[in-house]
Amino acid sequence: MDAGHNAPEPRYWEKLRTIAGILRELEGPIVVVSHVDPDGDAIGSSLGLARALRTLDKDVRWIAEPPRFLRFLAREDEYADPVEHLPEGATLVVLDAAEPGRVAGAPVEGFVVNIDHHGTNPRFGYLALVDPSKAATAQIVKDLIDTLEVPWSSDIATPVLTGLITDTGNFRFSNTTPEVLRTAAELVGYGVHLAELTDRLQWRPPGYYKAMGAVLSTVEFHFGGLLVTAHMPPGVSVEDSDDFVGLIRYAEGSQIAVFLREREEGVVKLSIRSRGGLSAQAVAVRLGGGGHVPAAGATLRGVTLAQAYPQVLAAVEEELRRLGYI
C-alpha cells in the first residue's frame, strides 16, 4: 500500500465541525451502527457517540450486537433491533466500518455519515471523515463529542476509552501516539474506572481456555519462521476467539502472523498481523480484505480451511518478496 493511503485527513477539524453542526440540527432519528464482527472500537465508538447524542435529546437508535466480552458496556435498554430499511427521515452514522459491505444492522442508504480510520475505506456516504492517522475511530468520536460540546461523563468516556484501549492493544501498538495517551488521560479524568474496565475487557468464557490449547496445537512456521500460522480446529467453537492471533504474533523471528477460522462452511476469516516494514494490510488487500498496515483481515469465500492455506501462503510470499525478505 502506498503511504498516502494512511495519510492524515487535512480537513479533519473542518469536517468534524460540519458533522457536529449537522447532527446538532437534525430532528429525525439518528441510527448509529458499526461493522460486522464488532471489536472494542466498533462498539466503543458507536456507543459513546450514541450516548452523547442522547444527551442532546436526539432520537438515537444504537444498533449493535457486541461480542460476549464487550456486552458489559451497555445496558439492555440501550439496544435497538437491526433494520432492513431506515426509518423515515433518518440519518445513518456509520463508525469504524472499512467498507459499506461490512456495515452491520442497517442498510447503507439515504443520508450517510461515515466516520472511520481505515486507510482502505473508500470514503462512502454523503459525508466521509476517514483519518487513517488516528489510532481508533474512538479518537475521532472523542473529538466529535468535544466539537458537539456535550459534557463528558464516565458513561460516555468509558466506551470511548474502550475503543482506544482495544485498538492500540492496551497502548502497546505503534499507533499509541502522544495524542492517544493524552486523550486516554483526559477520558480517565472524566471518571472511568480504569482498573475495573481493563479487567472486564480481559474476561473470557471458560471454554476459551480449552480452545486456546487446541488452537496452539495447530501452530506452524513457514518461510524459515518469517510467517506463523494457526487455525481454529474444526469442531472447536468458542465466543471471543478474535484475539487468538495475539497468541502467536510474538513468535520470535516471525514478521507476519495469520490466524484462520472457518466461520461457516466455505467461509474462512483471516486475522493478519505484521511487523518489520511488512504490511498486513497489503496481504489482506491481495486476499480481498483490508484494514491497517500492522493489523488487517480478509474473508475468503467458497474455500475450506485446507484450501485457504495455499492462498494465504501465496499472498504472504508476495509481501516477503516485495520487501526483500526472501
Site residues (vs ligand 5GP, CB under 6 A): 39, 98-99, 118, 242, 271, 289-292, 295-299
Beta bridge mates, 270: 260, 298
Q: Indicate the residue among 105 and 289 with the shorter CB distance to ligand 5GP.
A: 289
Distance CA 268, CA 262 (A): 4
Q: Indicate the residue among 231 and 292 with the shorter CB distance to Mn ion.
A: 292
Q: Indicate the residue among 167 and 242 with the shorter CB distance to Mn ion.
A: 167
**Are 115 and 94 in contact, with CB atoms under 8 Å apart?**
yes
- In terms of Cβ atoms closer than 10 Å to its own Cβ (0-12, 13-18, 19+), residue 180 is buried
For residue 297, the one-letter residue type is G
Give 64's contacts (C-beta < 8 A, 6+ positions apart): 33, 34, 38, 42, 43, 46, 47, 74, 79, 104, 105
**Helices (DSSP H) in the chain: which residue ranges?**
12-25, 40-54, 137-148, 154-167, 178-189, 194-202, 206-216, 245-248, 280-286, 305-322
Beta bridge mates, 35: 103
For residue 263, the one-letter residue type is R
Out of ligand 5GP, Mn ion, none, which partner does residue 99 contact, by CB within 5 to 8 A per kind? Answer: ligand 5GP
**Are 6 and 293 in contact, with CB atoms under 8 Å apart?**
yes
Distance CA 178, CA 184 (A): 10
Give 236's contacts (C-beta < 8 A, 6+ positions apart): 211, 214, 215
Out of Mn ion, ligand 5GP, none, which partner does residue 40 contact, by CB within 5 to 8 A per kind? Answer: none
Q: Which of 9, 131, 167, 319 binds Mn ion (CB under 5 A)?
A: 167
Q: Indicate the residue among 61 and 292 with the shorter CB distance to ligand 5GP.
A: 292
Of all residues in this chain, which one has the CB nearest to ligand 5GP in the complex?
297
Angle separating helix axes 40-54 and 137-148, nearest 10 degrees: 10
Out of Mn ion, ligand 5GP, none, which partner does residue 242 contact, by CB within 5 to 8 A per kind? Answer: ligand 5GP
Number of residues binding to Mn ion, judged by CB under 5 A: 4
Of all residues in this chain, which one has the CB nearest to Mn ion in the complex?
41
Q: Indicate the residue among 26 and 160 with the shorter CB distance to ligand 5GP.
A: 160
CA-based angle 183:20:73, to the nearest 5?
Answer: 50
Kind and range of the H or E element at 102? none
Out of ligand 5GP, Mn ion, none, which partner does residue 279 contact, by CB within 5 to 8 A per kind? Answer: none
Out of ligand 5GP, Mn ion, none, which partner does residue 116 contact, by CB within 5 to 8 A per kind? Answer: none
Q: Which of 30, 31, 41, 60 binds Mn ion (CB under 5 A)?
A: 41
Q: Give yes or no for residue 131 binding Mn ion (CB under 5 A).
A: no
Stretch that binds Mn ion, among 1-9, 58-66, 90-98, 231-239 (CB under 5 A): 90-98
Q: Give yes or no for residue 96 binding Mn ion (CB under 5 A).
A: yes
Q: Indicate the residue among 147 and 229 with the shorter CB distance to ligand 5GP.
A: 229
Q: Indicate the residue among 80 and 280 with the shorter CB distance to ligand 5GP.
A: 280
Out of Mn ion, ligand 5GP, none, which partner does residue 131 contact, by CB within 5 to 8 A per kind? Answer: none
Q: Indicate the residue among 20 and 140 with the shorter CB distance to ligand 5GP.
A: 140
The CB-of-14 to ligand 5GP minimum distance in angstroms stands at 26
Residues that bind Mn ion (CB under 5 A): 41, 96, 137, 167
